[in-house]
Structure 1
Amino acid sequence: MAHKNQNKWSVVIIACMAIFIIVLDSSAMNVAISTLVVELNTTLSIIQSIIALYALIIASFMLLGSKLQDILGRKKTFLIGLMIYACGTITATLSVNAFMLLTGWSILEGIGAAMILPATTTIVGAAYEGKDKVTAFGIWGGIAAMGAAVGPIVGGIFTTFVTWRLVFGSELVFVAFILIFRHYLSESKPTLTWKDLDKVGVLLSIVSLILIVLGILLLTRPDYWSYVAVLLISGSILFILFLVWQKRRINNGLEPLSDISLLKNRIFGLGNLNSIIQQIPLAGFLFIIPVFMQQVAKINAFMTGVALLPASISILIFSLLGAKLSSILESKYIIMIGFIISAAGAFILGGVFNINTHIIDIIPGTVVFGIGVGLLLSQLTNLTMSAAKSDQETDAAGFLNAFKNLGYSVGTALIGVLLILGIFGGLTSGIESAGLDGNMTTKQIHDSLFNYVEKMQTVPPKISPELVPQATQIVESTISYSMKQTFNALTLILILGFIISVFIPKRK
C-alpha cells in the first residue's frame, strides 16, 4: 500500500507515465501521415494499416498480457512489457522503410503495451484503498485522456519543425524515468505456473482478432476483395471456438485464459460493446481529419495538430467533468448524453468539408464531438469494471482493454476504408465525364488516380500535364463528398451506441 505521504502518489504517477506514452502513439502519428508516406516511400493504405495494426496487436495480446500477471507477477510483467515497448520505440525511431516502422511500432510496441496496460490497472488498484483508489483511477483516466489530447499537437510540432522520429524517441525519456523509480511498484505473488496457461486459448484469441481486422483492411484494395469474406468468416468462427474452448476449460476445472462468465453480466457486456462503438468513431475521426487537412486543405502537420486541438481540449475537460457529474447523475444517462452529443458533432462535421474548408470551419463540429467523447470516456471504464467481482478484476481489465483497442483498430480500418472507397466511387466517373480521360481505359484512369491518392498527391497522375489542375480539382471535390458520407456513417454508429446504452441496467 502507498502509506508514505511524501511518496503517496508515486505508484499512480509511474503507471500514468506508461499509459501516457502508449496513448500518445495512437494520436500523435496521425498528423504525420503525409510525411510518412513521402519519407518512407510508401502509401496511405500501408500507413493506415500500420496505425490499425498497432491497436490490433494490443487488443490481440491483451488477454495473454493480463494472464501473465498471474504467472510472473504484476511488477515483473509490467517491466518486461516496458522493455519490449522500448525495443519497439528504438526500432520505430530508426525506421528506414514501412516494414521497419511496422515491426517497431505495431508489433513490438503493441506486444509491450498489451503487457503494460492491464498491469497498470492492477498495480494502481493494489496500491490504494477507499477514496485514494477513486482519486488514483481518476488521475489514471485523466492522464490517458491528456495523452490523446496533446498527441496531435506534439506530433505536429516534432513532424513540422524537427522530425516525426522524435515522437518515438522522446518516449525513451519516460521509459528511463519509470525504470529509475520502479522500486515504488509492489510485486504480486504468482498464483499460476506456465503449465496452467491456456495455450490453445491464446492462439485462438490472437489469430481470430487479427483475421477479422485484416479482412476489414483489405477492403481498401479491390484486387483482394475475394479474400475479405474468407478472413472475416474465419476470424469470427475462430473467436466463437475461443469462447467455446474457454467454457469447456471452466467446466473441466482448468484455468481459462479469461473468465468468459463476465460476458454474461449485462452491465459488463453492454459496457464493453459501447466501448467498442465509442472507439470506432474516435479512431476514424483522428485518422480522416488529418488526411483531409493535409491532402485537400494543404496544411502541414503542426497546423493539423492545431486543427485537432479544440477537440482534444474538449475531450480532456469533459472526461474530467464527467467523473464529477456521476455523483449527481446515473452513469447510464451520462453515457446516453455522450453518444447523442458526439453524434451531433459528427453530423455537423459532415457538412463542412469542401475544397475551401479552413481550420476555423471545423472547430464547432470538433468541439461538440469532443464534448460527447469526453463524457463517454469518463464513464465507460468505471461502469464496465464495476460489474466485476474483486477476483475477476484481472480478467475484466484484460477484456475491457482488448475490446477498446479492437474498437480503435476497427475504427481506423473501417473508416479509412469508407473514405477510400468513397473517393474511388466518384473519381473514375468524374474524370470520364469531364473529358479528361484522353485515350486511357477506365482501368488505366483508376490505377493512375489510385496511385495519386495513395501517395497523398505527391506524384502526378498519369494524364496529360495540361489536364492535371482539372484532375486535381476532381480528386479534391470527390474527397470532400466522401468526407461527408463518412461522417454520416460515424453519426449512425454513435446513434447505435445511444440505442444500446438505453438497455444498460441502472446500478444499485
Structure 2
Amino acid sequence: MAGRRWAGLVFISIAVSLIIVDSTIVNVAVPSIVEELGISSTEVQWVQEAYTLVFASLLLVFGSLADRFGRRRLMLLGVVVFAAASIAAALAPTGGLLILARLVQGVGGSMILPTTLSIINATFRGRERGIAFAVWGSTIGGMAAVGPLLGGWLTTAFSWRWAFGINIPLGVIILIGVLLTVAESRSDRVERIDGVGALLSVATMAPLVFGLIEGRTYGWWTVTTAPAVGEWTWPFALSPVPLAFAVALVALIGFVAWGLHRQRTGRSTLLAFGLFRITSFRNGNIAAAVVSLGEFGIILALPLWLQFVVGFDALQTGLLLLSLAIGSFVASGIAGALSGKVAPVWIVRGGLLAEIVGVAGVAFTIGPDAVWGPLIPFLFVYGVGVGLATAQLTGVVLADVPPAASGQASGTQSTSRQLGAALGVAVLGTVLFSTTSGVLASALDDRGVPADQRDQVVSLVVDSAGAAIAGLDASPQTQDLATDARAAFSDGTRAAAFTAAAFLTLGLASTLTLGAGARRREERPARSQEM
C-alpha cells in the first residue's frame, strides 16, 4: 500500500510537470512563433497571460469542486482538457487562435494543480507528507527550468508546434499511471459551490491583468491608441485601463464581502476565509504571491533577449537555462538533507536569498555585448533558490491545514502563486517593453532621427518583441539603429530583472513572520506542562 502511494506521487509529479513545463516551454518558442505567425509584443504577453489568467481565476473553483466530486476524477478530466487544448495550440494557424487554445489549456491546468496538492495532503501524513511536498515543489522548480531546454530542442530540431505536441504522450502516461496508483478521495462534507464567489474572483483577476498588459498600448489614463473591435472604436478620451482597474477593485471588495457574508450564515465559501486565522497559512500565501511575481516574470524576458539581442537560437537558449535546472535539482537534494534538521521556513528564506543574488547577478551581466559565460553561475544560484523556496513554501503554507479543507487550502495556495505569476508576467513584461521603448526613442532622438521615422522604428522593435532587430541589422542603412535597439532591449531586460529582484526581496521580508505561529504552538504546550 505504501509503495502504491509513492508510485502515485511519481505520476502526480508528472502531472505537475505537464502544466509547469508548458508554462515555461513556450517562452523559448515565442521568438519562432513571432516570426511564423507575425504576432505583436502585446500578443506575446497574451500567449502567456491567456493561460495564466484563466489558470489563476479558476483554481479556487476547481479546488472546491475536487473536494466535492473527487480529486482524482477532476485531475484526470483536467489532463484530458489540457491535452486536447494542446492539440489545438499545436495546429493554430493564427495568433488569435493560439491565444484561444492557451485559454482552454488554462482551464485544464487549473483542474490539475490544486488536485495534486489536495491528493498529497489527504494521502500522506507526518514526515512522509513533508517529503511528498518537497518532491512536489522540487518538481515545479526543476521543470520550470527544464521547460526552456526541451522547448529549445523541439523548436530548433522540429517546430515550435512540437512544444505543445509533447503534451499528448505525457497526458496518456499520466492518465494510465494515475488510474493504476492513485486512490480517489473527497471531502466528507458536501456543500453547494459558491457560484457568485467564482464569478467575482474571475471579475477581479481578468480586468486587473488586462490593465497591466494593455496600459502601455491604450494609455494608463487617457487614450493613446483607441481600442477597436471590427468597426467599433473606443469613443472616450479616458483609457479603458483605469476603468479595468476600478472594476477589479470593486469586484475584489465584493468577493471579500460576499465570502464573509456566506461564512457568517454557515454556508460554504470559495475561499476558506476561516483558514486565514492560521498564521502559517495567511502569511505563507502572501509570501507565495510575492515570490511568484518575481520568479516567473523574468522567465518571459530572458529568452527574448538571448535570441534577439545576443543571437542565440532556441536550443542554445535552452542549454544556457539548463544551469537553472541543475541548480533546482541540486536544491532538492539539499532540502532533503536538511529535512528534520532545519526549520522549513529557514530553508525558504535561504532559497529566496539565493534567488535575489542570482537575479541581481543576471541583471548586472545583461548588456548588448554580453557573453554567456558569466550568466551560468548566476542562473545556477537562482535555480538553487527556486528549488529550495518552492519545495518548502508549500509545506509551510499547508502544514496546519486540516485534511478536510485541503482542497480549498491548496486551491488558495495555488491561486496565490498563480496570481503572483500572472502579475509577474504582466508587470515585468510591461517594464521590459516600456523601458525598451523609452530608451530606444531617446537614443534615436540623439541621432537626430526624424520623429516619424523614430516612432516607426520604436514600434517595429517593440511590437515584434525584438524580432525586428535582425532585420534592421541586415541593412547597412539601418545597422546603427539596430545597435541602438540592442542596447535598448538590453536595458529593458535589465530593468525587468532588477524589478524581479525587488519583488523577491519583498517576498523574503514577508517570510519574517512565518515562524511566529509555530513558536506560539510550541510555547503553549510548554506553559501547560508548567501549570
**TM-score bracket, shorter-length normalisation:** over 0.9
Structure 1 residue 334, shift from structure 2 partner: 2.4
The 5 Å alignment of 1:279-318 reads 279-318=292-331
2:246 maps to what in 1?
Answer: 233
SS of residue matched to 2:159: coil
Q: Which one is further off, 205-214 or 216-225?
A: 216-225
Q: Which residue of 2 aligns with 1:215?
A: 211
> In the alignment, does 2:171 pair up with 1:175?
yes
For 1:445, the equivalent position in structure 2 comes to: 454
The answer (yes or no) to whether the contact 1:20–1:144 under 8 Å persists in 2 is: yes
Change (3 A) 1:74 1:457: closer
AA aligned opposite 1:150: V
Q: Is the 8 A contact 1:319 1:377 kept in 2?
A: no
Q: Report the equivalent of 1:397.
A: 410
Q: 1:361 to 1:454 in 2, by over 3 A?
A: farther
1:12-411 matches, cutoff 5 A: 12-105=9-102, 107-181=103-177, 182-188=179-185, 196-223=192-219, 225=221, 226-411=239-424
Q: What CA distance in whole angstroms lies between the structure 2 residues aligned with 1:296 and 1:354?
A: 9
- C-alpha distance in structure 2 between counterparts of 1:19 and 1:296, whole Å: 32
Q: C-alpha deviations, 1:13-60, integer Å up to 9, x for none?
A: 221221111111011111111101011121222122221231221110
Inter-partner Cα distance in structure 1 for 2:349 and 2:136: 23
1:477 deviates by 1.1
Equivalent position of 2:492 in the other structure? 482
Instruction: Report how far residue 312 of structure 1 moved.
Output: 1.9
Distance 1:158 1:450 in 2: 30
Q: Distance in 2 between matches of 1:313 and 1:115?
A: 29
> Would you say the 8 A contact 1:346–1:487 is kept in 2?
yes
- Specify whether residues 499 and 223 from structure 1 end up closer, same or farther in structure 2 by C-alpha distance, changes over 3 A only: closer
Q: Tell me, in whole angstroms, the C-alpha distance in 2 between the residues paired with 1:93 and 1:14.
A: 24
CA RMSD of aligned residues (A): 2.3
Q: Which residue of 2 aligns with 1:505?
A: 515
Classify the secondary structure of the residue corresponding to 1:354.
coil
- Counterpart amino acid of 1:330? A
Q: Which amino acid aligns with 2:27?
A: N
| Alpha-carbon separation, structure 1, partners of 2:474 and 2:161 | 37
Give the C-alpha shift of residue 427 in structure 1. 1.4
**CA 190–392 in structure 1, closer or farther in 2 if over 3 Å, else same:** closer
Deviation at 1:385, TM superposition (A): 0.6
CA distance in 1 between counterparts of 2:245 and 2:6 reads: 45
**What is the deviation of 1:406?**
1.2
Using the size of structure 1 for normalisation, the TM-score is 0.92
CA distance in 2, matches of 1:184, 1:335: 31
Describe the SS at the equivalent of 1:360: coil
Q: How many residue pairs get matched?
A: 499
How much has 1:397 moved relative to structure 2? 0.2
| Alignment-mate amino acid for residue 44 of structure 1 | S
Cα deviation, residue 341, structure 1: 2.3
- More displaced stretch, 18-27 vs 78-87: 78-87
Query: What is the alpha-carbon distance in structure 1 between the residues aligned to residue 163 and residue 328 of structure 2?
Result: 21
Contact 1:326 1:334 in 2 (8 A): no
* CA–CA separation in structure 2 for the residues paired with 1:450 and 1:483: 17
Q: What is the rounded CA distance, in whole Å, between the counterparts of 2:95 and 2:31 in structure 1?
A: 13
Offset at 1:191?
5.1
Q: Which amino acid aligns with 1:118?
A: P
- Tell me which residue corresponds to 2:482: 472
Is the 8 Å Cα contact of residues 52 and 408 (structure 1) preserved in structure 2?
Answer: no
Moved more, 319-328 or 27-36: 319-328
Pair 324,245 (structure 1): closer, same or farther in 2 beyond 3 Å: farther
1:493 is matched with: 503
Q: Conserved in 2, the CA contact under 8 Å of 1:65 and 1:114? A: yes
Unpaired segments ≥5 residues, structure 2: 222-238, 523-531
Query: What corresponds to 2:236 in structure 1?
Result: none
Aligned partners of 1:131 and 1:160: how far apart in 2? Answer: 43
Q: Residues 436-475 of structure 1, C-alpha deviation per residue, up to 9 Å, x if partnerless?
A: 33xx43xx52243212332233388899965411111111
Cα offset, 1:87, TM superposition: 1.5
The DSSP-based 3-state class of the residue aligned with 1:155 is helix
Q: Does the CA contact (< 8 Å) of 1:448 and 1:462 recur in 2?
A: no
Give the secondary structure class of the aligned counterpart of 2:365. Answer: coil
Q: Percent identity?
A: 25
1:238 Cα deviation from its structure 2 partner: 0.8
Q: Structure 1 CA distance, aligned partners of 2:186 and 2:275? A: 24
Distance 1:144 1:499, change over 3 A: closer
Matching residue's letter, 1:78: M
Residue in 1 aligned with 2:229?
none
- Say if 1:309 and 1:463 are closer, same or farther in 2 by CA, change over 3 A: closer
Q: Residue type of the partner of 2:214?
A: L
Instruction: Give the conservation status (yes or no) of the 8 Å contact 1:87–1:104.
Output: no
> Which runs of 5 or more residues in structure 1 are unaligned?
none
Q: AA paired with 1:500? A: S
Structure 1 CA distance for aligned equivalents of residues 39 and 192 of structure 2: 43
Check conservation: 2:134, 2:332, Cα contact below 8 A.
Answer: no
Label 1:461 to 1:162 Cα distance change in 2 as closer, same or farther (>3 A).
closer
Shift of 1:361: 2.6
Contact 2:473/2:482 (8 A) holds in 1: no
The answer on whether the counterparts of 1:344 and 1:369 sit within 8 Å (CA) in structure 2 is yes
**Contact 1:55 / 1:405 at 8 angstroms: preserved in 2?**
yes
Which amino acid counterpart does residue 146 of structure 1 have in structure 2? G
Alignment partners' CA distance in 1, 2:387 and 2:242: 35
Shift of 1:8: 4.7
